[in-house]
Amino acid sequence: MRLASRMSTIGTESAFEVAARARALEATGRSVIHLEIGEPDFDTPANVREAAKRALDGGFTHYAPFPGIPALRQAIADDATARKRFAVTPDRVFVTVGGKGVMLNAIIGLVDPGDEVIVPDPGYPIYESLVRFVGGTPVPIPIRMNREFRLDVDELASLITPRTRMLVINSPANPTGGVLTGGDLEAIAELATRHDLVVLADEIYGRILYDGTEHHSIASLPGMADRTIVLDGFSKTFAMTGWRLGYAIVPPSLVAMYGQLIINTISCAPTFVQIGAAEALRGQQADVDAMVVEFRARRDLVVDGLNAIPGIRCLRPSGAFYAFPDVSGTGLSGAELAEKLLQDAGVCVLAGTAFGGIGTDHIRISYANSRENLGLALDRIRSVVNTLVAAAR
Ligand code: PLP
């Protein structure tokens, strides 16, 4: 079958493909520890599941209003006003299928062929993929370990051209766990304002922060709510990846565009799922807090364990649930080590290059797995790397 020519430009998210390969290996009887997929291993909180079940039994099985059910849009507006610290009204909230839906609409609605979009490298691969898909040009902004995985604002300024339309930021970040400071955001906001850029602010890990690190939304800075699309959702915070629910908070000038794109694509997000999500925001938050406490303990286990392995250097990230160690001291690239870990040791991680060219020396480890499995994975990684280092002597 002949595909549309634009299909030659679309990329992928290799986590899904690598996970499928790992599962195929498991099917042959091999033991594999999965550290590749970015999804909390916890169950969705019981009150959320109960609310969705009641909604199903109560007949909430029909179309919802296209921007989302009023109760959820109000809950999101209240939550965002409190946590992101800018005044959000429900009319600016759009409920989408996954956080990915927010990204898709922002890029197809705003990026013309030939427009440039600055994307983090390493960064979530779908930004770049969608920009190419619509004929735009992704311009990578390097995110380096020696800058604690925070972008360099001067370097960012040097990448802006008259064709730059949009800037994507993601804090806390996938795949590095890096968090932009309030000062970083102020400098980025100043650039965005000076050059009239739209900002897509991916804040999907905004509640997964450690050691007292605070979440700052760039939309809370003066004038920025008028040029920022905030991407957030339920997948990570509430362990609801399979529910497929995200939301956009958009400037008033983009309300009509978002509505039109939702009507043309999904019509609305599932109704009973939205009722569960309203409960997630309005109900008890103890499960989220407990999940973050557990992630922090796992982060320390993983970071300390990796740094104790010769040839591996790992920062202690302040957010999300990923470690992005530099493995160049093992003598292998991140991609080579990832392959070896899967084949020789049954540990599935991602190559840093799955997130952009800057990640060559890195692997990404998702520590959304039990401490027991993480401990076992560290033992296996240590044994593979020790063999490599010994062979190099
Ligand atoms: N943004 C980032 C940075 C992510 O890591 C992910 C998922 O891994 C998403 C967005 C997409 O989230 P969702 O599963 O809600 O579509």
Predicted confidence at residue 369, as pLDDT, reads 94
How far is it, in rounded angstroms, from Cα 56 to Cα 52? 6
Residue 391 lies in a domain: no
Examine the domain organization and report whether 70 and 200 are in the same domain.
yes
Q: Using an 8 Å Cβ cutoff, are 379 and 47 in contact?
A: no
Across residues 292-304, what is the average pLDDT? 98
Final residue belonging to a domain, choices 222, 254, 282: 282
Examine the domain organization and report whether 225 and 169 are in the same domain.
yes
Examine the domain organization and report whether 161 and 305 are in the same domain.
no
Residue 166 lies in a domain: yes
Judged by DSSP in three states, 69 sits in coil
Predicted confidence at residue 231, as pLDDT, reads 98
Mention every residue, 6+ apart, whose C-beta is less than 8 A from residue 17: none
Q: Nearest 5°: phi and psi at 326?
A: -85, 120
Residue 182 confidence (pLDDT) above 80? yes
Examine the domain organization and report whether 13 and 60 are in the same domain.
no
Q: β-strand 363-366 against 350-351: which pairing, if any?
A: antiparallel
Predicted confidence at residue 389, as pLDDT, reads 79
Judged by DSSP in three states, 167 sits in strand
Q: Using an 8 Å Cβ cutoff, are 160 and 187 in contact?
A: no
Q: Using an 8 Å Cβ cutoff, are 165 and 108 in contact?
A: no
Structural domain span for residue 342 = 5-43+286-384
Examine the domain organization and report whether 202 and 345 are in the same domain.
no
For residue 95, the cross-strand partners are 247
Q: Using an 8 Å Cβ cutoff, are 368 and 236 in contact?
A: no
Q: How far is the CA of 143 from the centre of ligand 1 (A)?
A: 18
Examine the domain organization and report whether 253 and 160 are in the same domain.
yes
Examine the domain organization and report whether 295 and 272 are in the same domain.
no
Q: Whose CA is nearest to atom 10 of ligand 1?
A: 99
Residue 231 lies in a domain: yes
Final residue belonging to a domain, choices 238, 258, 282: 282
* Number of domains into which the chain is organized: 2
Predicted confidence at residue 297, as pLDDT, reads 98
Task: Judge if the beta carbon of residue 306 lies within 6 A of ligand 1.
Answer: no
Query: Would you state the structure tokens that stand for residue 53, as one six-digit string?
Result: 């079940």
Segment 68-82, tens digit of pLDDT: 999 999 999 999 999
Examine the domain organization and report whether 231 and 344 are in the same domain.
no
Examine the domain organization and report whether 377 and 275 are in the same domain.
no
Q: Using an 8 Å Cβ cutoff, are 44 and 240 in contact?
A: yes
Predicted confidence at residue 104, as pLDDT, reads 97
Examine the domain organization and report whether 233 and 349 are in the same domain.
no
> How many CA within 13 A on the CB side of residue 49?
9
**CA Rg, the chain, in Å?**
21
Predicted confidence at residue 216, as pLDDT, reads 93
Residue 346 lies in a domain: yes
Residue 125 lies in a domain: yes
**Which of 119, 121, 128, 204 gets mutated to test ligand 1 (max ligand atoms within 8 A of its CB)?**
204
Examine the domain organization and report whether 39 and 90 are in the same domain.
no
Final residue belonging to a domain, choices 282, 300, 328: 282
Predicted confidence at residue 1, as pLDDT, reads 96
Q: How far is the CA of 172 from the centre of ligand 1 (A)?
A: 12
Task: Select from 66, 90, 69, 96 the least CA-distant residue to 259.
Answer: 66
Q: How far is the CA of 1 from the centre of ligand 1 (A)?
A: 31
Q: How far is the CA of 244 from the centre of ligand 1 (A)?
A: 10
Q: What's the CATH number where 75 sits? A: 3.40.640.10
Q: Which ranges of 135-229 would DSSP assign to H, the alpha helix?
A: 153-159, 182-194
Residue 390 lies in a domain: no
Predicted confidence at residue 190, as pLDDT, reads 98
Residue 110 confidence (pLDDT) above 80? yes
Residue 299 lies in a domain: yes
Window from 27-31, 250-254, 345-349 with minimum mean pLDDT: 27-31
Q: In a 10 Å sphere around its CB, with 0-12 CB exposed, 13-18 middle and 19+ buried, how is residue 90 labelled?
A: middle
Residue 276 lies in a domain: yes
Examine the domain organization and report whether 110 and 199 are in the same domain.
yes
Average pLDDT, the chain: 96
Q: Using an 8 Å Cβ cutoff, are 292 and 145 in contact?
A: no
Segment 328-361, tens digit of pLDDT: 999 999 999 999 999 999 999 999 999 999 999 9
Predicted confidence at residue 16, as pLDDT, reads 81
